Structure 1
Amino acid sequence: MNWENTVAIITGAGTGIGKATKDLLRSKGCIVYNLDFTDNDETDQQYFISCDVRNRQQVNDAVDKVISAEKQIDFLFANAGIHLFATLEQTSDEELQRVVYTNLFGVYYTLQKVIPVMKAQQKGSVVLMGSDQSFIGKAASSVYGMTKGAIAQLAKSTTIDYAPFNIRVNCICPGTIDTPLLHNAVDRFSQLSNATKEEIYKSLDTIQPMGRIGKPEEIAKTVAFLLSDESSFTTGSLIAVDGGYVCQ
């Protein structure tokens, strides 16, 4: 696929999977706008827009800036999200709201703003950030898992509504990936248990059939495939990229 003269929006592209995807698409010639809290050493400030995805107005303003500058949006990777390692009883109302507003409302707001642009263009490709928890449940992950299950259904329903307009929507479902999100979760688990961080990381390796955790770059390659014309007949799919974890 020729990525030249195409325009992508990635939310939360300052670190982890979002950054890896941003770097990959830019290396292919795609214009990629990073909508994030902070610039996180963004190499091209021209394409950074400060945006809190929990705030609908900020999302609308950010997308309007992209439209004003580029007159098109070909791709959306709604990636921004946070994790919470906690049971129902351990979850405060503030934590509940923060996770739901970031992981679910943030995706919804972004999708709701970008879809009409793609509809007017009669084309577009979207990837939503799911999780292995879009398929399965995990201990002490009720709120996070709830949001990722909802994202999977949002992808499916949006697919049906907008397929007639040549818009594809897929959901990437990573497993355990070496990102700041994982490191924060490990820190919290270590604090809540008697396990050391070294023990936790070792156990994370062993529970994957492939014997290791994933790399952000591996997820980025799958996202790029799903966004591209190379997956032109793929839509409404939940794509597990997890070293075989959910197949067990």
Structure 2
Amino acid sequence: MAEFDGLVAVVTGGGSGIGAATARLLQERGARVAVLDRATDAAPEGVLAVPCDVTDPAAVDAAVATVAEQLGGLDVLVNNAGIGATGHVGENDDAEWARVLDVNVTGIARVTRAALPHLRRSQHAAVVNTCSAVAFLGVRQRALYSASKGAVLALTLAMAADHVQEGIRVNAVAPGTADTPWVGRLLAAAEDPAAAAAALRARQPLGRLVTAEEVAHAIASLASPLAASTTGTVLRVDGGMTSLRV
């Protein structure tokens, strides 16, 4: 499949995990891909790797301008950069709330704002945001993270409404617990990593973690020109976590 032939895609947080898997898949399907990440050493081979912190407006503007100049425009934006947080509502201080929301929510706004002039010139403009299953159901010890991803859900729908008449489609994916570096660090810090891993698997009806490649496939499907009538959609890639009770 090469439905992205001639298109330029930007993936934030593309240096590892879901972002790296997405960058690889978009390349395989014909896109010229740029990765924006604080650490780009592990970015997929063949991408344009641009160091960028999504909390820095000047860095974001410069990175997007670099991509558009070097790759010839911008057609697809994958807002994947994000950080995690654990604890109930009494366990994260104001500084942690500000930090997580700045990356997970305002970061999407910053990068999209910088990309909009280029997206408006594209015939196949698409934005895909990475949301989470915790935007749809309550999960213990995820108050701050859930709040940030609930905001991503609302932001996605608002962006889709704002830009649909400009020909810019905006969608999101909502993964369940995925096998990513952040989850790996979370498990490593647990008192009993094996038991913690078993608990994460058990809360997803499929009985296993979601893979980064599975989420990447969903992102690419939403971003594809073949999905030209799909906008304002949040695709759950969660092993049935939010909709099944088995």
Q: TM-score, normalised by structure 2?
A: 0.94
- Answering whether residue 42 of structure 2 is matched by residue 41 of structure 1, we say yes
Q: Where does 1:88-103 land on structure 2 (aligned, <5 Å)?
A: 88-103=89-104
Tell me what 2:197 maps to.
201
Q: 158-167 vs 112-121, which deviates more?
A: 112-121
Tell me what 1:140 maps to.
141
Tell me what 2:110 maps to.
109
1:95-134: per-residue Cα shift (whole Å, max 9, x none)? 2222111111111101111122212335401100100012
Quick one: percent identity of the two aligned structures? 31
Tell me what 1:241 maps to.
237
Distance in 1 between the 2:175 and 2:58 partners? Answer: 29
Is the contact between residue 14 and residue 35 of structure 2 (CA under 8 Å) also seen in structure 1?
yes
Tell me what 1:50 maps to.
51
Tell me what 1:222 maps to.
218
1:130-186: per-residue Cα shift (whole Å, max 9, x none)? 000121221111111111011111110111111111110001000011001112233
Is the partner of 1:176 in helix, strand or coil?
coil
Q: Where does 1:1-248 land on structure 2 (aligned, <5 Å)?
A: 1-44=2-45, 47-121=48-122, 123-188=124-189, 190=190, 195-248=191-244
Root-mean-square deviation (CA, aligned residues, Å) is 1.5
Q: 175-184 vs 34-43, which deviates more?
A: 34-43
Distance in 2 between the 1:239 and 1:29 partners? Answer: 23
Query: Counterpart amino acid of 1:68?
Result: E
Is the contact between residue 15 and residue 44 of structure 2 (CA under 8 Å) also seen in structure 1?
no
Relative to structure 1, the CA distance from residue 120 to residue 69 in structure 2 (aligned partners, 3 Å threshold; closer, same or farther) is same
Is the partner of 1:65 in helix, strand or coil?
helix
Aligned length: 243
How many Å apart are 1:71 and its aligned residue?
A: 3.0
5+ long unaligned stretches in structure 1: none
Relative to structure 1, the CA distance from residue 230 to residue 45 in structure 2 (aligned partners, 3 Å threshold; closer, same or farther) is closer
Distance in 1 between the 2:152 and 2:163 partners? Answer: 16
Q: Which has the higher helix share?
A: 1
5+ long unaligned stretches in structure 2: none
Distance in 1 between the 2:126 and 2:140 partners? Answer: 33
Query: Counterpart amino acid of 1:151?
Result: V
1:31-80: per-residue Cα shift (whole Å, max 9, x none)? 11000001132354760110000111110110011111233111000000
Q: 34-43 vs 57-66, which deviates more?
A: 34-43
